[in-house]
Structure 1
Amino acid sequence: RLKAFEDTLNNERIDLKTLRKLCFNGCPFEHGYRSTCWKILLNYLPLDVSQWKEILEKQRKLYTHFVHEMIVEPGTKASAGSQADDHPLNPNPDSNWGAFFKDNDMLLQIDKDCRRLCPDLFFFQKATEYPCKEIIHADSRVETLRKRVEHCVLHSETLKVDRFGKSNMIASRRKTSEEYSLLPDGQEAHWEVVERILFIYAKLNPGQGYVQGMNEILGPIYYTFASDPRNEWKEFAEADSFFCFTNLMAEIRDIFIKTLDLDAVCGIGSMMASFTSKLKEKDEFLYNRIKELDLKPQYYAFRWLTLLLSQEFPLPDVLRIWDSLFADDKRFDFLICICCAMLMILRDEIISEDFPTVMKLVQNFQTSKVDLQRVLSKAVDIR
């Protein structure tokens, strides 16, 4: 298999049909093959290999510009202090403070989600080998996203009077249960890189902004690129992840638009309708049993489909699933087949157990300890 990938990727022009077929059965991690294949399948790298160098240089330079424009420059101004005629209570719609407060609301949610990304995996808490030097440099006067979040956490003082009548001001700080210990200045954790990518993406897409769950889509992509054994690729994992994530979101963004949730033509409502239709077609008895239990797809399939199963399996299994999803020529039709296969594998339990037991089972699929290869084989059979 390694030889097959090597032969395919070493051609001057990649045969997409051959690559899809190879990737559908799983990409090897060795030699960075998965990283390269995903970049091609997500339309970041063209099939003409001779264009790679030029495109990568252009896109990575563009991402550096985004970082400078949306984080470095505002961070420098914030650190230096605002103009005398601009202040937090300035009603002028052109005031920088209005945008600052709006961005902070979004940033706090991104920060909260990124800190708890893949909690079972230490990778995202580790320091990256390639932090953004312009931001974390010792002489930098940039207010980082980390510092912005710290400044947003409320500090308060409470007047306490002891039994002897003596008054004291007791300082307190509101903390979140997900608060992690931060790395020293000059270092960045991988989750902070993911946070920066999502912040920039949200700023560039104000109509959609950041929606919870996007961190779960970006996480496996960034992990794959940042774990590339080739340092010349790993160094630019942040920029490459941004563009691959952007391309992927362009295909699935309707899933994250709340107003389309009940739309029968597009959005998550359409996907859930396709899912139930496929299940009825392949196993009508199971479909009727689920209907009898009143186990609506919103209770479980919503998360399965929205997050591309990233919450239902351990990360290594998620990467294997995404190999097939990205290689699917009909894109995410195979995702629906996998979801149906998951239910069909649990068929006996669904038929014999009551609603609470079945609900717990489908909402915590990992606990069933079903072998992934069995799920994928079943999905291929019903495809």
Structure 2
Amino acid sequence: MILSTNTLFFRIKEFDDLLNSEEIDLKTLRKLCFNGVPDEQGRRALCWKLLLNYLPPTHCTWSETLSRKRELYRQFIEEMIVMPGVADDDDSCRTDVTLTDHPLNLNPDSKWQTFFKDNEVLLQIDKDVRRLCPDISFFQQATDFPCQQVVHSKGVKRLHRRVQHTVLKSANVERKGLGITKIALSIKKAPEDYAPMAEGMEAHWEVVERILFLYAKLNPGQGYVQGMNEIIGPIYYAFASNPDAEWREFAEADCFFCFTNLMGEIRDFFIKSLDEAECGISGMMARLGEQLRKSDLQVWLRLQQLELRPQYYSFRWLTLLLSQEFPLPDVLRIWDSLFADERRFDFLIYICCSMIILLREELLTGDFPSNVKLLQNFPSMDIQVVLSKAAELGGLKAS
């Protein structure tokens, strides 16, 4: 929906008045954000920091909170990225195999053992972040604020250095295809557009790689799971494209904590042992099926008749918060509403249900193969139509 100039001006003023107040009313903020956050002047990034409980509602405490969190993140980089056997002098980055702790040391406390174990996780992260949002060039571009620890260490903490990419052989999880995912084995040549930057510079995908690596290190019970790159991508993009350089400088640290908070809410989606639990992904798919039955019995019966279960199309929708079904600008708009939802993922169910209902004519006449293909390749559609239908299903007000 295109807002008139006067309406847009009024909405922006509402946001600015609220965000500049000494004590931000989160209930009012959620109401405003549910209908979309204006892109201008980094308002979305600021609103997401509040909605994801990174910034407190009391304005005067922001400076202390940000300083403390950003310093903590700097310590994480220094302490968690282990580089055993590397000389710290300015002239070289060489391995000294005469050290007591050497690469063949089998002691589980060995830094080398930690290094090799970390690299197993890093390999998957590196593959995933190199193909993040390929439709836009943002993640291939250089950040204006490369990590200072990287610069000071002459590049030795740049994680991509630890993964050889002369030829990358990987199982690519394609966005479209039959079944939950379609996996195609392919040979990918050495990175071209996603090639690392020169020393002293970093591409945005390298920054995302470091955030995900540190998250995996700090959450060993969960670690890194493929798909987390699709969750962090829109958050980092919103923060790192902020026109305010003072906020953009700390996009990495701020993104890490917001991503961590969000994962605290959706981590059950990524834990296989909880798949069948009510809080797991199977429980979410069951909720979607029940909502569809209530909202459009005819479509639900047709899918039941075809034995076309939610597992065949909605696994990715729900797990990745629809980040793979729509262009990035639409994903940002969807997430405004998701993050503003006090119960958070109730509205995700309504959005997914609205997507199905908006295809009802095709679904009622299609057979199993055509319907699966349609749902797995959700057609281009005005996102406001989808959200308005979702709000209607949930008995909510959207504008």
TM-score > 0.5, shorter chain as reference: yes
Of stretches 289-298 and 372-381 in structure 1, the one that deviates more from structure 2 is 289-298
Question: Are 1:75 and 1:143, in contact at CA under 8 Å, matched by a contact in 2?
Answer: no
**Does residue 1:14 correspond to 2:28, yes or no?**
no
Post-superposition shift, 1:332? Answer: 1.0
Structure 1 residue 262 corresponds to structure 2 residue 272: no
Tell whether 2:309 aligns with 1:296: yes
The answer to whether the Cα contact below 8 Å between 2:167 and 2:188 also exists between their aligned partners in 1 is no
The residue number in structure 2 matching 1:229 is 243
Q: How is 1:355-366 mapped onto 2 (pairs within 5 angstroms)?
A: 355-365=368-378
How many percent of aligned residue pairs carry the same amino acid?
Answer: 62
The aligned runs of 1:253-332 (5 Å cut-off) are: 253-263=267-277, 265-332=278-345
3-state DSSP class of the match of 1:176? strand
Match of 1:159 in 2: none
Counterpart of 1:142 (choices 147, 156, 167) is 156
What is the aligned partner in structure 1 of residue 122 from structure 2? Answer: 107
Counterpart CA distance in 1 for 2:329 and 2:166 is: 35
| Partner SS, residue 359 of structure 1 | helix
Question: Whose Rg is larger?
Answer: 1
Q: Name 1:243's counterpart in structure 2.
A: 257
In 2, Cα distance between the equivalents of 1:359 and 1:133?
Answer: 48
- Contact 1:116–1:178 (CA<8 Å) still a contact in 2? no
Task: Report which of the two has the higher share of helix.
Answer: 1
Q: What CA distance in whole angstroms lies between the structure 1 residues aligned with 2:68 and 2:101?
A: 36
CA distance in 1, matches of 2:376, 2:328: 17
Kept after mapping to 1: 8 A contact 2:82/2:111: no
Where structure 2 has 5 or more consecutive residues not aligned to the other structure, the ranges are: 1-10, 88-92, 169-185, 395-399
Deviations 1:84-127 (A, max 9, x none): 34333333222222222211111010000000000001000000
d(CA) in 1 for partners of 2:252 and 2:232? 11
Name the residue aligned to 2:358: 345
Q: Which runs of structure 1 show a deviation greater than 6 angstroms over 4 or more consecutive aligned residues? A: 151-154
Conserved in 1, the CA contact under 8 Å of 2:231 and 2:321? yes
Is the CA contact 2:166–2:190 (under 8 Å) kept in the aligned structure 1? no
Cα distance in 1 for partners of 2:190, 2:320 equals 21
Give CA-to-partner distance per residue, 1:119-176, whole Å, 9 cap, x none. Answer: 0010000000000122135x6262420211138979xxxxxxxxxxxxxxxxxxx973
Aligned-partner SS, 2:381: coil
SS in 1 for 2:188: coil
Q: Residue 164 of structure 2: SS of its match in structure 1?
A: helix
Q: Does 2:141 align with 1:131?
A: no
Q: Distance in 2 between matches of 1:320 and 1:34?
A: 9
Once the two structures are superposed, what CA deviation does each residue of 1:185-211 show, in whole Å capped at 9, x if it has no partner? Answer: 221100000000000000000010000
Query: TM-score, with normalisation over the residues of structure 2?
Result: 0.86
CA distance 1:336–1:252, shift in 2 (3 Å): same
CA contact (8 A) 2:85 2:97 kept: no
Partner of 1:190 in structure 2?
A: 204
What does the per-residue CA deviation read over 1:343-379, in whole Å, with 9 as the maximum and x for residues that have no partner? 00000111111111111111111xx222111100100
Q: CA deviation at 1:80?
A: 4.0
User: SS of the counterpart of 1:202?
Assistant: helix
Partner residue in 2 for 1:176: 188
**Residue 49 of structure 1 pairs with residue 63 of structure 2:** no
Cα distance in structure 2, aligned partners of 1:68 and 1:82: 22
For the 8 Å contact 2:165–2:191, the answer to whether it is kept is no
- Report the residue type matching 2:377 in the other structure: N
Give the drift of 1:183.
Answer: 2.0
The whole-number CA distance in structure 1 between the counterparts of 2:237 and 2:18 is 24
1:75-86 correspondence to structure 2 within 5 Å? 76=86, 79-82=94-97, 84-86=99-101
Query: Which AA in structure 1 matches 2:132?
Result: L
Over 3 Å counting, the alpha-carbon distance change for 1:7 and 1:337 in structure 2 is same
Matching residue of 1:169: none
The 1:82/1:243 distance shift into structure 2, 3 A limit, reads farther
On the 8 A contact 2:83/2:115 being kept in 1, the answer is no
Q: Is the 8 A contact 1:114 1:195 kept in 2?
A: yes
Deviation at 1:81, TM superposition (A): 3.3
**Structure 1: tracts of 5 or more residues without a match:** 155-173
Question: What is the CA distance between 1:237 and its match in structure 2?
Answer: 0.2
Structure 1 position 74, deviation (Å): 4.8
Q: Distance in 1 between matches of 2:354 and 2:239?
A: 29
Query: Is the contact between residue 75 and residue 144 of structure 1 (CA under 8 Å) also seen in structure 2?
Result: no
1:208 pairs with 2:219: no
The answer to whether the 8 Å contact 1:72/1:134 transfers is: no
| Corresponding residue pairs, total | 360
What CA distance in whole angstroms lies between the structure 1 residues aligned with 2:221 and 2:234? 25
Query: Is the 1:112–1:178 contact (alpha carbons within 8 Å) kept by the matching residues of 2?
Result: no
Q: Alpha-carbon deviation of 1:14?
A: 0.2
Matched letter for residue 44 of structure 1: Y
Using structure 1 for the length normalisation, give the TM-score.
Answer: 0.90
Give the counterpart letter for 1:2 in structure 2.
I
Would you say the 8 A contact 1:79–1:143 is kept in 2? Answer: no
Q: Distance in 2 between matches of 1:208 and 1:51?
A: 32
Distance 2:71 2:95 in 1: 26
**176-185 vs 287-296, which deviates more?**
176-185
Cα deviation for residue 295 of structure 1 reads 1.3
Letter matched to residue 188 of structure 2: T
Distance 1:235 1:48, change over 3 A: same
